[in-house]
């Protein structure tokens, strides 16, 4: 029987990636472009005002020109400017156009690997979403979801693909801003919003080092090739000192207030102090006004200093600061420095190479630094990080969901009370399943899937990125819950109480039972073999995932979760409709057929919870009693009366029976004997035996 069922199952799985209506959309199937080429890519679609396009030498963007040869804008691929990964862990390669006024002329997704768009939601939905950005200023704050802020524009998400559109929103805006910066439409400070933290009390020098407010670069004599010693040639402490707790400590309160008052918008105070025997100043600034030994580099921008940007600083004001040999205060001018991004201090050392009287050898040394959040906070509410916006958008759902999960945990923590009455336990279980199906599943769409197992496996093999897991708040919380409760009570807490699809299945079966039909069960010869099928499916999917992740995502549609909660079933292809309908109808006739035999995620959780430390309470007597065995709908009891944690769905009815003095035979017998006053010696022996039988295993 099992052999006969396998071909049917494989056909149904294959239905999710057969050619025809189920094939991946053209945009997804197209290979990701390696470089921008407007002769093959639809640049004209995103910049209709351009008559033709030409590449800009030495850059990765192209110019759009009108019929008279005037520049009407620039086009670029997002991946040439930003690296923002979507839910698949891969970027949404997007073609973006920008006009000289900083307005986005259009955007088009060229390539993506999003599973929800490969199977399920039409790809046109993403194209319609991206078309919103045409005509929007690149510096406009745009958020996905509703907002009450008057200066922020909102765009509707695609239901079922929230993470994808959050990533797409940031991809379009950040790439357009980076392109505008590259063609000198925008200043750096205009594209990254943030503010300095202001504390009234100056930090000590040691505090500045501990908090990372200063960068440090050491170049030894040996590094310079002067001699073989490790003595520092230059020992530089450097950093931006706009924040008063840093600036007053480095410059002194009077000097800090004076120089800070000289700044205009977009300018910053930058200090360099040296403890080495060499010099970072040199003499070129005396002759030509330019400091040739130190500069700041940030991305593709190089910031050099002139004598007009410089004031001598002989020492550090902080009382605990070390003695220095020289120091300088520079002004970072021209709106060219971004305090929210990493930067490098570049020291260009030189020495006579003895080839001739005036020949010198130059060596470049760099040290990277990032201003810490204790000094400068980047405003991440405008474009920001996808997962943070996702959490903001679902604050209410997160709160409701977290309370619900805590209540379920409470049922198991207090199970001595919750299982004390069969009716009480039944009401709690029914309420949990109704809430899970209607609220968690239908309303919230928070159905965990084997695809999250794929994500975890892929992260372990390639690159672990927390943002992939955090991008779906409710799913992230679900998996924390699943791991914790499965490790303690087994997978049944999630599968039996919280899983929306499992709840729908069991509720359907309960409706049938209420109508008088008790359902049917497979004979043991088939059941005992068929329950291993889910492990085979899991192994198959993981194997395919390691070979072809997109194919595995399609085959994972053996789980009907997407058709149930994310994508309306009536919008899907016939293969999905047939598979979903078969499973749905079977759930009225059998107790959770998908959960017990097919679910690959359930198989993975079953393996994880094989040795749960806190299963339902059992007695030695249970090995010879069949009351709980006959009532167990998942058929989790072994012949010896013990419970298989891989099959148990934690309905806890057996523990309610365990505590019921009207159902459990040894408890009934013990209560009857203990109520009697005329116990014979033989009865006393029975009491002793029953007390042993009533004791926990």
Q: What is the mean pLDDT of the chain?
A: 83
**Structural contact between residues 606 and 491, judged by C-beta atoms closer than 8 angstroms:** yes
Average pLDDT over every residue of 66-75: 93
- Which residues sit opposite 369 in a β-bridge? 343
User: Residue 448 corresponds to which tokens in the numbers above?
Assistant: 């965990």
Q: How far apart are CA 318 and CA 250, in angstroms?
A: 6
Residue 1 covered by a domain: no
Q: How far apart are CA 20 and CA 22, in angstroms?
A: 5
Residues 367, 403: one domain?
no
pLDDT at 325 over 90: yes
Residue 591 covered by a domain: yes
pLDDT at 147 over 80: no
**Nearest Cα residue to 109 out of 140, 133, 137:** 133
> 137, 170, 191 — which closes off a domain?
191
3 state SS of 142: strand
* 258: Cα separation from own chain's centroid: 45
Q: What pLDDT, on the 0 to 100 scale, is given for residue 16?
A: 40
Would you state the torsion angle of the CA atoms of residues 583, 588, 594, 597, taken in this order, to the nearest 10 degrees? -120
Residues 604, 678: one domain?
no
Q: What pLDDT, on the 0 to 100 scale, is given for residue 11?
A: 44
Q: How far apart are CA 528 and CA 513, in angstroms?
A: 24
**Nearest Cα residue to 76 out of 48, 112, 106, 113:** 106
pLDDT at 1 over 80: no
Q: What pLDDT, on the 0 to 100 scale, is given for residue 614?
A: 86
Q: Which residue has the higher pLDDT, 618 or 344?
A: 344
Residues 367, 404: one domain?
no
Q: Which residue has the higher pLDDT, 594 or 452?
A: 594
Residues 117, 246: one domain?
no
Residue 385 covered by a domain: no
**Structural contact between residues 168 and 86, judged by C-beta atoms closer than 8 angstroms:** yes
3 state SS of 465: coil
Residues 187, 209: one domain?
no
User: Residue 695 corresponds to which tokens in the numbers above?
Assistant: 């004791």
**Nearest Cα residue to 232 out of 223, 222, 242, 219:** 219
| Percentage of the chain modeled with pLDDT above 90 | 43
Residue 127 covered by a domain: yes
Residues 200, 187: one domain?
no
> Residue 26: pLDDT band by 50, 70, 90 thresholds?
very low
* Strands 215-220, 232-240: pairing kind: antiparallel
Boundaries of domain holding 202: 194-378
For the four alpha carbons of 24, 30, 34 and 36, in that order, the dihedral sign comes to: negative
Q: What pLDDT, on the 0 to 100 scale, is given for residue 512?
A: 92
Residues 217, 145: one domain?
no
Residues 180, 203: one domain?
no
Q: What pLDDT, on the 0 to 100 scale, is given for residue 73?
A: 95
pLDDT at 504 over 70: yes
- Which residues sit opposite 312 in a β-bridge? 328
Residues 464, 358: one domain?
no
The backbone torsions φ and ψ at residue 214, rounded to the nearest 5 degrees and listed phi first, read -120, 140
Residue 184 covered by a domain: yes
> 191, 218, 249 — which closes off a domain?
191
Q: How many domains does the chain have?
A: 4
Q: How far apart are CA 36 and CA 535, in angstroms?
A: 45
Residue 65 covered by a domain: yes
The 10 Å Cβ neighbour count of residue 379 is: 13
Residue 24 covered by a domain: no
CA distances from 111 to 58, 168, 297, 436 (A): 25, 12, 33, 36
Q: Please state which of the ranges 172-176, 514-518, 665-669 shows the lowest mean pLDDT.
A: 665-669
Residues 81, 181: one domain?
yes
> 159, 191, 223 — which closes off a domain?
191
**Nearest Cα residue to 448 out of 542, 302, 300, 559:** 559
User: Residue 521 corresponds to which tokens in the numbers above?
Assistant: 């069960």
Residue 532 covered by a domain: yes
Residues 312, 323: one domain?
yes
3-state secondary structure 23-37: CCCHHHHCCCCCCCC
Residues 244, 356: one domain?
yes
Condensed to tens digits (0 to 9), the pLDDT of residues 524-573 reads 899 999 999 999 999 999 998 888 877 887 888 899 998 898 777 887 88
What's the whole-model pTM score?
A: 0.61
**Structural contact between residues 205 and 237, judged by C-beta atoms closer than 8 angstroms:** no
Q: Which residue has the higher pLDDT, 223 or 212?
A: 212
């Amino acid at each position: 029987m099992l052999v006969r069922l396998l071909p049917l199952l494989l056909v149904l799985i294959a239905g999710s990636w057969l050619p025809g209506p189920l094939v991946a959309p053209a945009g997804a199937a197209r290979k990701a472009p390696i470089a921008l080429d407007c002769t093959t890519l639809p640049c004209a679609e995103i910049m209709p005002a351009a008559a033709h396009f030409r590449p800009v030498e030495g850059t990765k963007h192209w110019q759009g020109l009108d019929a008279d040869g005037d520049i009407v804008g620039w086009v670029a691929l997002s991946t040439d400017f930003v690296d923002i990964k979507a839910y698949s862990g891969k970027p949404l390669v997007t073609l973006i156009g920008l006009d000289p006024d900083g307005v986005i002329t259009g955007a088009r997704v060229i390539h993506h690997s999003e599973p929800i768009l490969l199977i399920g939601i039409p790809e046109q939905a993403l194209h319609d979403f991206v078309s919103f950005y045409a005509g929007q200023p690149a510096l406009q704050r745009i958020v996905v979801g509703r907002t009450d802020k008057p200066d922020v524009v909102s765009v509707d998400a695609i239901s079922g693909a929230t993470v994808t559109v959050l990533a797409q929103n940031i991809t379009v805006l950040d790439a357009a801003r980076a392109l505008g910066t590259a063609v000198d439409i925008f200043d750096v400070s205009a594209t990254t919003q943030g503010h300095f933290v202001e504390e009234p009390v100056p930090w000590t020098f040691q505090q500045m080092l501990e908090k990372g407010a200063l960068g440090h670069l050491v170049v030894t004599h040996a590094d310079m090739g002067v001699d073989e010693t490790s003595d520092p040639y230059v020992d530089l402490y450097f950093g931006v000192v706009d924040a008063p707790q840093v600036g007053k400590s480095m410059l002194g309160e009077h000097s800090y207030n004076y120089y800070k008052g000289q700044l205009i918008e977009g300018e910053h105070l930058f200090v360099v102090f040296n403890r080495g025997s060499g010099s970072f100043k040199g003499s070129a600034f005396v002759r030509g006004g330019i400091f040739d030994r130190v500069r700041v580099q940030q991305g593709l921008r190089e910031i050099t200093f002139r004598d007009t940007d410089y004031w001598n600083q002989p020492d550090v004001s902080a009382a605990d600061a070390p003695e220095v040999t020289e120091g300088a205060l520079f002004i970072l001018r021209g709106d060219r420095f971004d305090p929210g991004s990493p930067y490098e201090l570049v020291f260009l050392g030189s020495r006579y190479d003895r080839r001739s009287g005036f020949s010198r050898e130059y060596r470049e040394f760099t040290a990277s630094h990032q201003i810490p959040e204790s000094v400068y906070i980047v405003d991440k509410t405008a474009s920001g990080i996808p997962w943070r916006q996702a959490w903001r958008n679902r604050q209410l759902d997160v709160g409701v969901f977290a309370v619900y999960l805590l209540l379920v945990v409470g049922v198991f923590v207090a199970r001595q009370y919750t299982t004390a009455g069969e009716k009480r336990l039944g009401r709690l279980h029914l309420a949990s399943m109704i809430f899970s199906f209607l609220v968690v599943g239908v309303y919230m769409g928070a159905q965990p899937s084997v695809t999250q197992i794929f994500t975890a496996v892929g992260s372990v093999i390639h690159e672990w990125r927390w943002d992939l897991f955090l991008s779906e708040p409710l799913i992230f919380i679900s998996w924390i819950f699943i791991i914790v409760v499965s490790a303690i009570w087994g997978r049944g807490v999630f599968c039996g109480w919280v899983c929306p699809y499992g709840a729908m299945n069991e509720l359907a079966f309960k409706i049938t039972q209420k109508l008088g039909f008790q359902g049917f069960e497979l004979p043991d010869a088939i059941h005992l073999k068929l329950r291993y099928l889910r492990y085979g499916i899991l192994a198959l999917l993981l194997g395919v995932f390691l070979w072809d992740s997109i194919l595995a995502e399609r085959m994972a549609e053996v789980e009907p979760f997407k058709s149930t909660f994310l994508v309306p079933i009536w919008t899907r292809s016939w293969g999905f409709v047939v598979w979903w309908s078969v499973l749905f109808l079977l759930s009225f006739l059998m107790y959770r057929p998908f959960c017990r035999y097919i679910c690959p995620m359930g198989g993975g959780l079953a393996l994880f919870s094989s040795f749960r430390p806190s299963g339902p309470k059992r007695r030695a007597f249970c090995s010879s009693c069949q009351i709980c065995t006959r009532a167990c709908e998942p058929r989790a009891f072994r012949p010896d009366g013990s419970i298989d944690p891989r099959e148990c769905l934690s309905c806890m009815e057996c523990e309610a029976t365990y505590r019921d003095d009207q159902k459990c035979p040894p408890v009934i017998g013990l209560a009857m004997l203990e109520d009697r006053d005329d116990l014979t010696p033989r009865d006393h022996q029975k009491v002793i035996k029953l007390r042993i039988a009533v004791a926990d295993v």
